[in-house]
Amino acid sequence: MINHQDILNDIQNMTTQLIRVGLSVKQNFPICKSFPNQVYEVNYANMQDLSIVLKNRKYEEIYDELESNNNFNIKMIDGALLQLLYTYQTKILIRHRLAFFPSPYLESFQNEPEIYEDDEIYADILEKNIMAVPIRFDYDPNNFQEIYHPKCHLTLGQFKNCRIPVSSPITPSLFISFILRNFYNTAFQKFSNELTFQDALFNETITNLEKKLLHLAIF
């Protein structure tokens, strides 16, 4: 069983590795807060109110507020922000929120490629046809409604009713591996021997009916 201490250690380990290979340019290390009834929240130092990410605001405004307030775990080399938040009660995971907010200002990289083109870790962010699309993995069993609100789901592009079923909650290693493989693949390949990911997985939470839909499966 993956407990809150395992999660804390995993995020700390992944943060340290991203710093070491030069993919993280700014970071807030994870912390664990204790609350009554044996509730534990794994978030990050100086975390602030995150309600803005759910408001009907321009994406640039949401990104700017998060970035200017250092309201993230990790800021990547291209400005993308990563947030990893977990809540436990005793030893049971009751909620998580894992978010990827790409920078809406990639033009600064694309308009001056000569600054970056000699460093291959930037290869994936120099294409001019790239569009910033935020990604969020939520685990929220308290609001479960079969199909309409899967216990664990993927939301793309801040669409309110986009909830793609996911077979189980996501560990920090799995989330960061997903981000690196898909959005920083050149860097991922370059540093593959220097990055290590925990292989522990959460138990499956998807229903049989949800499995009949297009979904993300984790084995």
Q: Summarize pLDDT for 46-59 with one digit per residue, the tens.
A: 888 877 676 778 88
Is 52:65 a contact under the CB 8 Å cutoff?
Answer: yes
Residues 6+ apart with CB under 8 A from 3: 88, 91
Q: Is 199 exposed, middle or buried (0-12, 13-18, 19+ CB in 10 A)?
A: exposed
Q: Does residue 219 fall inside a structural domain?
A: no
Integer Cα distance of 138 and 57 in angstroms = 20
- Which amino acid belongs to residue 159? F
Q: Does residue 101 fall inside a structural domain?
A: yes
* DSSP per-residue codes, 29-72: -EEEEEEGGGEEEEEETT----GGGGSS--HHHHHHHHHHTT-S
Q: Summarize pLDDT for 172-207 with one digit per residue, the tens.
A: 999 999 999 999 988 899 899 999 999 999 999 999
Q: Does residue 183 fall inside a structural domain?
A: yes
According to the model, what pLDDT value does residue 49 have?
Answer: 80
Domain span at 45: 4-211
pTM of structure: 0.92
Q: Is the confidence at residue 112, as pLDDT, over 70?
A: no
Q: What percent of the chain has pLDDT over 70?
A: 89
According to the model, what pLDDT value does residue 48 have?
Answer: 84
Lowest-pLDDT range of 19-33, 45-59, 89-103, 178-192: 45-59
Q: Does residue 135 fall inside a structural domain?
A: yes
Is 137:170 a contact under the CB 8 Å cutoff?
Answer: yes
According to the model, what pLDDT value does residue 111 have?
Answer: 64
Average pLDDT rounded to a whole number, residues 200-219: 96
Average pLDDT rounded to a whole number, residues 66-91: 95
Q: Does residue 217 fall inside a structural domain?
A: no
Q: Does residue 23 fall inside a structural domain?
A: yes
According to the model, what pLDDT value does residue 199 have?
Answer: 93
Q: Summarize pLDDT for 139-166 with one digit per residue, the tens.
A: 999 999 999 999 999 999 989 899 999 9
Integer Cα distance of 8 and 10 in angstroms = 6
Q: Does residue 32 fall inside a structural domain?
A: yes
According to the model, what pLDDT value does residue 54 have?
Answer: 67
Q: How many domains does the chain have?
A: 1
Q: Is the confidence at residue 87, as pLDDT, over 80?
A: yes
According to the model, what pLDDT value does residue 116 have?
Answer: 62
Q: Does residue 218 fall inside a structural domain?
A: no
